[in-house]
Structures are given as structure tokens and as C-alpha cells.
Amino acid sequence: MNWQTLYSSRQMSAEQAVRLIQSGDRIFLTGNCSVPRQLLAALVEYAPQLHGVEICQALTVAGSEYVAPDLEGHLRVNSLFISSNVRKAVQEGRADFTPVLLSEFPTLFSRGILPVDVAFVHISAPDRHGYCTLGIEAGLTRSAARSAKRVIAEVNQQMPRTHGDTLIHISQIDAFVPADYPLAELVMTEESTPVIETIACLIAERIPDGATLQTGIGAIPDAVLRYLKDKKDLAVHSELVSDGVIDLVEAGVITGARKAIHPGKIISGFMLGTRRLYEWADDFPLIELHPTEYVNNPFTIAKNTRMVAMNSALEVDLTGQVAADSIGPKFYSGVGGQMDFIYGASLSEGGLPIIALPSTSTLRDGMTVSRIVPMLKQGAGVTTTRNHVHYIVTEYGMVDLYGKTVRQRTQLLISVAHPSFRDELTSQAKALHYL
């Protein structure tokens, strides 16, 4: 049977495809901006006829209908990185959270720790040889799809065709759901503030020519990219790429010419951005997507010389412990690639492992609080340990904690805390015998 005949014979509607799901199944849901919306909507409609179905996912740019309270007992999300659409359900105990490094996320499926019955994937149209690609989300999906008992795919005419380890042949898929709709978009550039701009400038001035960048989620990494236009031969090795890289590639700043591994290539696991990024990346051999267990492996990362890792935090205590995935006992997001890249960059020759955060935050009641704190909130998880931390940057400067005593760390962190809180932090540090 040729691939065209096979492809035609396995095409069906989303409503038909979800009837391949059985009670008790575990579904892997491809995520980020690649959520297969038709399949997910059909599953929500069919869910009352199912019981005990688990949906494993990372960040999903989608609605929250599939974690609605009335689906309890039918569908239950197990999120390995909590996105805003499922956060309330996790915090209320209606959905689960599994802490895991992003580099190890796919291996939970491939090693059978979380066996996958059905993988929902979102792919580009087949080429003349019957090969589709996993589109803008390959890093987390590749291993899960390979290890699943059944694969159900939305074939979207608007999904970019991507290079790297993204190919999937028609024969490897059990059901195809035709689709033709714009992909979800996530705008990285938030409304800028003087604090964000100052932090971005502090980081940008430390980035040398020939550096390789991790470009993470958030306003600060995106702002940093805007201050790099005078740099030369930058490169990208990152769990994600967003719109911010486009201008730097077109300006000849990102060339990858000095890259130690994959020279000349942008290496990533997935794309998270807008339609501009998807159209730009379509069939663009400069960008390669690879499995996250490779991209985020700290020892792969470390092979890049002058590796710059930029990550954020909710708060940092005076010993250097970084909390980024929870606010006290409330789970907020996940470790993501922070530990992978902080450790990988620390092993890189000339590497810069950076944690960046504004010195303060404003609570809902209008109160301003310091994000440099004597101790993390009770119940908060440590994302980057005090043993791994290197550079901390706020709008008041950048300090290097690595190899420093707790007394020295305390002094350095107080120096980049907001001036309004420095006396209080000093007093509390003395009470804790840090000073």
C-alpha cells in the first residue's frame, strides 16, 4: 500500500478519532503553541463517556475547558510544567503536578515510567515521500510519540515544516484529523518598564561576541535581545526560540559562526511566539528542533563555549537559593529548563549562568515586597540550589555568588536589593547569624 492510500484510509474527524480513547488511558498532549485544538475540543465533548483518563502535558497555550470541575473523574491533567490555564485546577487539587527537569520530561515516557497509551500530536502536511514534521513543538513530543501505543495527529495546513529531528512518517500514525487554522500565539514582549530595561542592559553588556544564548520565556530575556545589535557572531542553543531572534538573524548578529557544536545552526526544542515566527521558520534550515533530552542535557549545553543562560526567579534568599516554580506551598509553574541551563552554562568555558529578577514585586493589595528575602516562603520549592547559583541580577546590579561564603553572599545580595529593604535585610541577616 502506498502512503497516499494509507493516509486516506486513516483520515477521520476529531469526533471519530477521540473514540479510540478508552477509560483508564494515559494521553500525551503536545503543548506550547502547538496544542491540537480540534482533538482537545472533541475529547472534552466525549469525556463524560470516559473514566480515569489522564492527560500528561507541559505548558499549553489553550483554554481551561478540559480541566473544568465537571470533568472530574473523567479527565485529569498531570502537568509537568504548570501553565496559567491549568494553574487553578492544580492549586485546588483537581489536577496533578509532577516535578521534573525539562531535560528528563520526555524520558518519563520513553523509559516507561509514565507509559503512554495515546499521543495527541500536531503536524505539518506530508511531503511527496509521506513524511510530515512535528512542526513547532518537537522537543517534548518526539520521544512521547515514539513510545505511545497509538498516535493521533492533527494535520494542519498552517503548521510550518521544520528541520532537525522532527520527521514522522504517515505509517507511524494511527489516525489523521485534517485541520486548517492559525496556530496559537504567545507574545513574549510585555509592556516594558524601566526596571526591565535596566536589567536587560546589565545582562547585555556582559555578553561577549561569539556567545551562545539560551532565550527563555519572559520579558527580561526578550528585552536582552534588543540590546545585542552591536554584538558579533552570536548563536542560540535553547529549549525555545521566540520572535526576538528574527531581527538579530536578519541583522547578521546571530550567525552561529563560532559555535562549538552545530555551527551555523539555531538549536532548540520548540518555538513559542507569533505568526511572524512561524512563517519565518517554515522550511528554514538555519533552525533545527531536537528532542529536549538532547537540547537540555547539561553536558550538551556545556559543549557550547561562552554559554549564556538567562532565567528568572520569584524570589532569592540570602544564601542564594532560588525559588521559581512555587509561591510558598502554591505550585505556580515548574523547573522548566532553569537547572539544565544554569548547570550547563556553569560547565561551559566562559559561561554565564544568570538568574534575573526585579528587586521588588507588588502584591494584589498594593503592598511592595522585596524579592531578595532572608528566607524563602515556607513551603517554597528550591529551583536552583545555593550550590549551583552563580550570577544574580536586579536593576541595582549583577553579583557573582559562586565560591562565596554565606556572609559574602548576604552582603552581595543586599547590595542589589531595593534600597528601601536593605536595612531590614541587614537586621534579619544578623539575627540569622549570616552577618
Cell representation of residue 336? 522548566
State yes or no: is 239 an active-site residue: yes
**Which pLDDT does position 1 carry in this prediction?**
74
Global pTM reads 0.95
> Cβ atoms within 10 A of the Cβ of 193, count?
13
Instruction: Give residue 187's pLDDT.
Output: 86
User: Among 333, 336, 108, which residue's Cα sits nearest to residue 214?
Assistant: 336
Instruction: Return per-residue pLDDT of the chain as tens, 435 residues.
Output: 799 999 999 999 999 999 999 999 999 999 999 999 999 999 999 999 999 999 999 999 999 999 999 999 999 999 999 999 999 999 999 999 999 999 999 999 999 999 999 999 999 999 999 999 999 999 999 999 999 999 999 999 999 999 999 999 999 999 999 999 999 999 876 677 999 999 999 999 999 999 999 987 778 888 999 999 999 999 999 999 999 999 999 999 999 999 999 999 999 999 999 999 999 999 999 999 999 999 999 999 999 999 999 999 999 999 999 999 999 999 999 999 999 999 999 999 999 999 999 999 999 999 999 999 999 999 999 999 999 999 999 999 999 999 999 999 999 999 999 999 999 999 999 999 999
Q: Which among 154, 185, 205, 239 is annotated as catalytic?
A: 239
How far, in Å, CA of 339 to CA of 99, rounded?
A: 12
pLDDT score, position 190: 64
Burial class (CB in 10 A: 0-12, 13-18, 19+), 279: exposed
Torsion, Cα 406 411 415 421, to 10 degrees, reads 90
Per-residue pLDDT, 15: 98
d(CA 435, CA 427): 9
